[in-house]
Amino acid sequence: MTSDNYPTDAEGIPLLDNPLSAQALAAEPRGAPPAALEDPALIARVLQDSAVQHLLEDMSGDLQKLVSRQMEELLQQELARLINQSVAQQAPKLAADICTQLQLSLPGLLAAVMGRAREPGTSD
């Protein structure tokens, strides 16, 4: 099976005919990039290719999802920190308020319970 004159495997993945070894790459002289990489017309044509456009759209979508996920994680962490900080700051006042409410409510609640217990025909 071939695609665009490149041999492919059964799943359509291109096969390398002459792969470079690490030694060959290390021995290759490093110089200026090929002139084709400096030709704006050639670069524009490559960027207009539908396969390249598809890859750019895929990369953009993946990056957008990654940024959204990271922002969500950072916001969750910051909100959790702020909530914990707020609860820690308000805990003593909240405990005091609960204690005050219990002290104010318990006499009336106890009186109501005792009154019901004394009524004939009620048994708990």
Q: What is the pLDDT along the chain (124 residues), one digit of tens a residue?
A: 444 577 888 888 888 777 777 887 777 777 666 666 778 888 888 888 888 899 999 999 999 999 999 999 999 999 999 999 999 999 999 999 999 999 999 999 988 998 888 887 665 5
pTM score of the predicted model: 0.43
**Concatenated DSSP letters of 22-84:** HHHHHHSPP-SPPGGGG-HHHHHHHHHSHHHHHHHHHHHHHHHHHHHHHHHHHHHHHHHHHHH
Long-range contacts of 38-46 (CB under 8 A, 24+ apart): none
Cβ atoms < 10 Å from Cβ of 8: 13
pLDDT of residue 73: 96
Rounded-to-10 torsion of CA 20, 22, 24, 25:
90
